[in-house]
């Protein structure tokens, strides 16, 4: 029988695979075990009795509320013991004070984050030996801050010992402050909406809920600023996964992941980040659910998650929210355009552009200067689909044209590191792998793009280049200086369908809503192969749209959570390749003949 304390026992069980956990929790467990061996070299040690004191406070003083847990002693689950035991057990040898000053905890919805952190707040107020302790439950809004605080109030109401020593302000169900008169301490909710009164906060514990909903780091910064008045303050950030990779939550998560992996040395930050492994697919394999839901079978059931998965499959618009809330997947946009699984199904790892030498090609060009990527897409005719009988419509589906696509990006070399950090995208790695070209300077060099198009026009039968008007005059001037010209055609980005003459004299229809629809159709029908490019995959998963009253869609960059330029270029190239399908030019069957069935 193991004699390990609960924190170390959990870490060992994760390490040995006895407890199934995701990659970052595995890293956190390894970090704990490594520190148990080498921590003394950095002046830190683990005080198992201090951790156990918190465990006893929860089990003997606190009671849970509501549902099946109403009135039940708060016995922490193993993952909660690991989190809380780490926070209260790890100390600094020189001072005997707690090691961790910050904690980032990301788990699936329904895994008891708020009650656990409410318990931490109550402990800090009445049992941590801090005179005049100020405990804050912080949220993006008053309502959000109130959720965690309400859990703490309910535990006070259930606890006879706390009920005697804690004064509540506000009527039942409207409490806004808990006060421990003996120590002069209080626990209250706070948000950016809270009116300022008196001096600034001097938190002993700052408990920040649903960090992914915080618009910025303002509340956290204000609370941490007051830590200078305390000897061992603690910031605890709890959250579901989010979607905005430019948010304070993503920045905190990135740091927490690096700390857990011991890629960054930060002895003041604790990390418990639930996530799936890269190969996991929660909509197909329930065995991975526990990685995002450490309290699976306790506070959240498999039947409930199975129902969520069914909804995601039946209603595509719900899929991203379910992935984010229940399976700790940071979705790239609030509403997915193309699912990752669908996109990966059209990626061709064997396709090389040399295979299309001499073949007809259509280009899409989306130019940028400094912040966005410049993108060039080439789409080639790629044969025809097989005719088949549709079981749903009970009709024959004729052969349809297929296409193959290659997309390349360009970015300024001098600012690549800063923008990679800001955007949360590995631009430098994509450059090294050949998926992007880094052009010298702080602006994208359009002559690099022009030279690549020159090479394309020599290698392939370039029908025409569909372009967005932004910077096109500068691009054409660069081409003129290089003695190059291409068959160019403006691709409108707005709502209106516009017909114009292509360089070969045929009439074509180009408009962004139509190009988006054509691209979706090719993907859904399996008539598009795409050369593998993680930068393009990121753009597709980040794509967001403006929608017209007629339910038409066009890309919008100001709402996107990542750089979508490569997806825009691909849509324009597909629009160019399919622009003659409305009967305004020669039929595809005129060249190859009709199939006899």
pLDDT of 432-487, one tens digit each? Answer: 999 999 999 999 999 999 999 999 999 999 999 999 988 999 999 999 999 999 99
Q: For residues 229 and 124, state if they share a domain.
A: yes
The values of phi and psi at residue 504, to 5°, are: -90, 5
Express each pLDDT in 143-176 by its tens digit.
888 889 999 999 999 999 999 999 999 988 899 9
* More confident of the two residues 411 and 549: 411
Express each pLDDT in 30-71 by its tens digit.
999 999 999 999 999 999 999 999 999 999 999 988 778 888
Q: For residues 184 and 322, state if they share a domain.
A: no
Return the closest-CA partner of residue 44 out of 96, 111, 121: 96
CATH of the domain at 21: 3.40.50.300
The arithmetic mean of pLDDT across residues 528-543, rounded, is 92
Predicted local distance difference test score (pLDDT) of residue 197: 46
- List the domain range (segments joined by +) for residue 158: 6-273
* More confident of the two residues 138 and 555: 138
The whole-angstrom separation of Cα 60 and Cα 74 is: 8
Which segment of 251-255, 278-282, 507-511 scores lowest on mean pLDDT?
507-511
In a domain, 280, yes or no: no
Share of the chain above pLDDT 90, in %: 68
**SS3 of residue 405 by DSSP:** strand
Q: For residues 458 and 360, state if they share a domain.
A: yes
Eight-class DSSP state of 386? P
Which segment of 313-317, 576-580, 592-596 scores lowest on mean pLDDT?
592-596
The arithmetic mean of pLDDT across residues 389-400, rounded, is 74
The whole-angstrom separation of Cα 352 and Cα 348 is: 9
Return the closest-CA partner of residue 162 out of 57, 300, 279: 57
In a domain, 495, yes or no: yes
Classify residue 547 by burial, with Cβ atoms within 10 Å: 0-12, 13-18, 19+.
Answer: exposed
In a domain, 597, yes or no: no
Which segment of 425-429, 470-474, 559-563 scores lowest on mean pLDDT?
559-563
The whole-angstrom separation of Cα 169 and Cα 178 is: 6
In a domain, 1, yes or no: no
Q: For residues 315 and 429, state if they share a domain.
A: no
The arithmetic mean of pLDDT across residues 507-513, rounded, is 89
User: What's this model's pTM, rounded to 2 decimal places?
Assistant: 0.64
Q: For residues 399 and 469, state if they share a domain.
A: yes
Q: What's the chain's average pLDDT?
A: 89
In a domain, 116, yes or no: yes
In a domain, 420, yes or no: yes
Q: For residues 312 and 433, state if they share a domain.
A: no
pLDDT confidence of 549, banded at 50, 70, 90?
low
- Nearby residues of 98 by Cβ (< 8 Å), 6 or more positions away: 87, 88, 90, 91, 92, 232, 234
Please name every residue paired with 90 in a beta bridge, in sequence order, or none if there are none.
46
* More confident of the two residues 427 and 585: 427
In a domain, 36, yes or no: yes
Q: For residues 180 and 134, state if they share a domain.
A: yes
CATH of the domain at 434: 3.30.420.240
Predicted local distance difference test score (pLDDT) of residue 13: 98
Q: For residues 440 and 494, state if they share a domain.
A: yes
The arithmetic mean of pLDDT across residues 195-209, rounded, is 79
The whole-angstrom separation of Cα 438 and Cα 435 is: 10
What is the four-CA torsion angle of 229, 230, 234, 235, rounded to 10 degrees? Answer: 0
Q: For residues 317 and 363, state if they share a domain.
A: no
498: alpha, beta or left? (left if phi > 0; alpha if psi -120 to 50): beta
Residue that is last in its domain, among 227, 243, 273: 273
- Could you give the number of structural domains in the chain? 3
Predicted local distance difference test score (pLDDT) of residue 586: 32
Predicted local distance difference test score (pLDDT) of residue 62: 94
Predicted local distance difference test score (pLDDT) of residue 117: 96
Q: For residues 257 and 171, state if they share a domain.
A: yes
CB 236 within 8 A of CB 205: yes
Instruction: Say if residue 585's pLDDT is above 50.
Output: no
In a domain, 278, yes or no: no
Q: For residues 258 and 356, state if they share a domain.
A: no
Measure the CA angle with vertex 65, ends 64 and 67; round to 5°: 120
Q: For residues 350 and 317, state if they share a domain.
A: no
């Amino acid at each position: 029988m193991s004699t390990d304390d609960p924190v170390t026992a959990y870490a060992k069980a994760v390490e040995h695979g006895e407890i199934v956990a995701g990659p970052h929790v595995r890293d956190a467990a390894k970090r704990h075990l490594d520190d148990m061996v080498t921590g003394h070299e950095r002046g830190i040690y683990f005080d198992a009795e201090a951790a156990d004191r918190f465990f006893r406070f929860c089990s003997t003083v606190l009671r849970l509320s509501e549902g099946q847990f109403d009135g039940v002693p708060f016995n922490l689950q193993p993952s909660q013991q690991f989190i809380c035991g780490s926070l209260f057990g790890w100390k600094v040898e020189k001072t005997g004070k707690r090691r961790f000053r910050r904690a980032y905890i990301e788990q699936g919805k329904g895994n008891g984050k708020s009650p656990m952190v409410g318990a931490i707040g109550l402990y800090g107020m009445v049992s941590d030996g801090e005179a005049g302790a100020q405990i804050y439950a912080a949220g993006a809004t008053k309502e959000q801050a109130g959720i965690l605080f309400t859990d703490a109030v309910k535990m006070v109401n259930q606890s006879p010992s706390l009920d005697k020593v804690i004064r509540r302000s506000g009527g039942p169900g409207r409490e806004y402050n808990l006060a421990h008169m003996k120590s002069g301490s209080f626990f209250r909710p706070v948000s950016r909406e809270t009116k300022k009164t008196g001096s600034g906060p001097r938190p002993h514990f700052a408990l920040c809920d649903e960090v992914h909903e915080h618009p910025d780091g303002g509340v956290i910064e204000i609370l941490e600023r007051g830590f200078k008045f305390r000897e061992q303050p603690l910031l605890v950030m709890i959250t579901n996964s989010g979607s905005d990779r430019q948010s304070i939550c993503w920045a905190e998560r990135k740091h927490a992941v690096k700390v857990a992996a011991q890629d960054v040395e930060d002895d003041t930050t604790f990390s418990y980040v639930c996530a799936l492994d890269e190969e996991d697919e929660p909509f197909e394999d329930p065995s991975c659910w526990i990685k995002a839901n450490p309290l699976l079978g306790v506070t959240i059931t498999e039947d409930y998650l199975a129902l969520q998965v069914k909804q995601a499959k039946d209603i595509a618009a719900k899929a991203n929210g379910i992935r984010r809330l229940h399976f700790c997947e940071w979705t790239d946009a609030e509403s997915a355009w193309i699912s990752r699984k669908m996109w990966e199904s059209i990626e061709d790892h064997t396709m090389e552009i040399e295979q299309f030498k001499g073949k007809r090609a259509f280009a899409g060009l989306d130019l940028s200067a400094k912040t966005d990527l410049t993108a060039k897409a080439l789409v080639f005719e790629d044969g025809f689909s097989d005719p088949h009988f549709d079981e749903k419509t009970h009709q024959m589906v004729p052969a349809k044209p297929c296409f193959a696509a290659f997309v390349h990006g360009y970015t300024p070399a001098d600012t690549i590191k800063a923008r990679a950090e800001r955007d949360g995208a590995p631009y430098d790695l994509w450059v090294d792998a050949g998926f992007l070209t880094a052009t010298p300077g702080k602006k994208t060099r359009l002559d690099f793009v022009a030279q690549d198009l020159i090479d394309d026009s020599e290698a392939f039968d370039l029908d025409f280049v569909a372009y967005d008007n932004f910077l096109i005059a500068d691009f054409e001037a660069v081409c003129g200086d290089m003695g190059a010209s291409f068959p160019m055609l403006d691709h409108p980005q707005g709502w209106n369908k516009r017909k114009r003459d292509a360089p070969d004299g045929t009439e074509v229809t180009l408009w962004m809503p139509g190009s988006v629809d054509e691209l979706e159709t090719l993907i859904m029908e399996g008539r598009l192969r795409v050369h593998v490019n993680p930068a393009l995959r990121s753009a597709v998963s980040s794509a967001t749209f403006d929608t017209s009253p007629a339910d038409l869609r066009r890309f919008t960059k100001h709402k996107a959570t990542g750089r979508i330029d490569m997806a825009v270029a691909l849509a324009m190239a597909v629009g160019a390749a399919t622009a003659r399908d409305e009967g305004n030019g020669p039929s595809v069957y005129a060249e190859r003949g009709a199939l006899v069935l």
